[in-house]
Structure 1
């Protein structure tokens, strides 16, 4: 039975590779920030690609906001995804990069341009419209990627290690910004991270993957209290 409160449901989803198979079963409620953690190679990026539609499962069912997702290409899913390398076009100015989130053909109206300027203001980049990505810091480029996601107004946001290239100060600033934007938008956020600090600062709940399976799906408090799994202990730095 479909859960009417769920943002995402994965039912007996399996992806097979030559030497391994990944298995995912979970239900993610709407409106929260979910940290997706686990060692490299545990299946985190594959999980995101399945949800976003960049990869198809070999079996199982994926439902997004109550609707079966298999027939929908990535562009038709109610999802924005930000990769750790930003996916900005170096030869296009910041306003144009953000405008691609509204219309890939860049057929933008005056109202669209106002929306772009507002999104840049919200991420702290007011006045940056004509700058080029290579002139920005890593944190500023991530803010541009967030602005592009904002103008799309999708209810789900997937962040694939969005702070990976940032120093600790920039990470803290981006975490604060993301938390503020989430409070404004009320969207559902899934964020892949290798840093316990990101989990503690941002997440309402945690999906933890190990060897291609979801071995924990807990509230933040419950996850931080766990002492029953070696992989989780390593991630949290428990003795």
Structure 2
């Protein structure tokens, strides 16, 4: 049931609980305002990624979950996964190897944008914004890890998400790239006014994100 937490813009988690075979993994209530980040921390296997799955609409049926999730007053749980418009970044950038770099971005542009030329122009502008001007026709496999991460982020942002879910997207980058990519992701999210949920086991990620930290898997 909606309560006073849903009166403000942003993402609201209203008494969200997730369990597996009767064992509670996640129990949380929080409000993440537009441009802010909630970090959920815990060791591997603690269940923190199940929260992202619940928010995104792809939680394995082996888990039981309850609680409200609202973005700007919209009840996400009542919507099918594809209608929630949750942008997600994983550990791997998941670029399509059969598409060019620009087409990897253009594929996420909403269908309301008509015409291949306009979609391509938007993709090229996004690449330029990410410091990747001229890479549009490149094969994704020729990009570095940091470059792939930037393409994945721009693809998510062009999909016009309501919220951004981050599933340890920095964990496979080396230290220098990790710091650069953190700064880029959180800066872009703030500029886009997106509420963000980050799951990680890295304290440095939480420090870079700022905002509230919720810990799971601890007695």
TM range (shorter): 0.7 to 0.9
**Please, which of 15, 30, 46 is the counterpart of residue 42 of structure 1?**
46
Q: What is aligned with 1:18?
A: 21
Shift of 1:107: 6.6
Per-residue CA shift, 1:148-191, capped at 9, x if unaligned?
A: 01111223111111111100011111122123323422221222
* 1:45-124 superposed matches below 5 A: 45-55=49-59, 57-103=64-110, 108-124=115-131
Unaligned segments of structure 2, at least 5 residues:
none
Structure 2 SS opposite 1:210: coil
Residues 26 and 18 from structure 1, CA distance in 2 versus in 1: closer, same or farther, beyond 3 angstroms?
A: same
Does residue 185 in structure 1 map to residue 192 in structure 2?
A: yes
- TM-score scaled to structure 2, two decimals? 0.85
| Structure 1 contact 10–24 (Cα < 8 Å) conserved | no
Q: Distance in 1 between matches of 2:13 and 2:161?
A: 20
Q: Distance in 2 between matches of 1:17 and 1:208?
A: 18
Q: What is aligned with 2:175?
A: 168
Residues 188 and 196 from structure 1, CA distance in 2 versus in 1: closer, same or farther, beyond 3 angstroms?
A: same
Task: After superposing the two structures, state which structure 1 stretch, 166-175 or 36-45, moved more.
Answer: 36-45
Shift of 1:9: 2.7
Structure 2 SS opposite 1:70: helix
Give the RMSD, CA atoms, in angstroms. 2.3
Q: Distance in 1 between matches of 2:191 and 2:76?
A: 27
Q: Distance in 1 between matches of 2:213 and 2:31?
A: 10
Q: What is aligned with 1:156?
A: 163
Q: Distance in 2 between matches of 1:8 and 1:27?
A: 8
Q: Distance in 2 between matches of 1:153 and 1:193?
A: 24
Residues 176 and 61 from structure 1, CA distance in 2 versus in 1: closer, same or farther, beyond 3 angstroms?
A: closer
Shift of 1:68: 1.9
* 1:208-219 superposed matches below 5 A: 208-210=215-217
- TM-score scaled to structure 1, two decimals? 0.79
Count of residues in correspondence between the two structures: 211
Shift of 1:108: 4.3
Per-residue CA shift, 1:64-112, capped at 9, x if unaligned?
A: 32222222112111321111111211121111111121158x9744222
| Structure 2 contact 86–161 (Cα < 8 Å) conserved | yes
Per-residue CA shift, 1:18-68, capped at 9, x if unaligned?
A: 362334231223220222211112221100000111127543333232222
| Structure 1 contact 36–44 (Cα < 8 Å) conserved | yes
Unaligned segments of structure 1, at least 5 residues:
212-230, 232-239
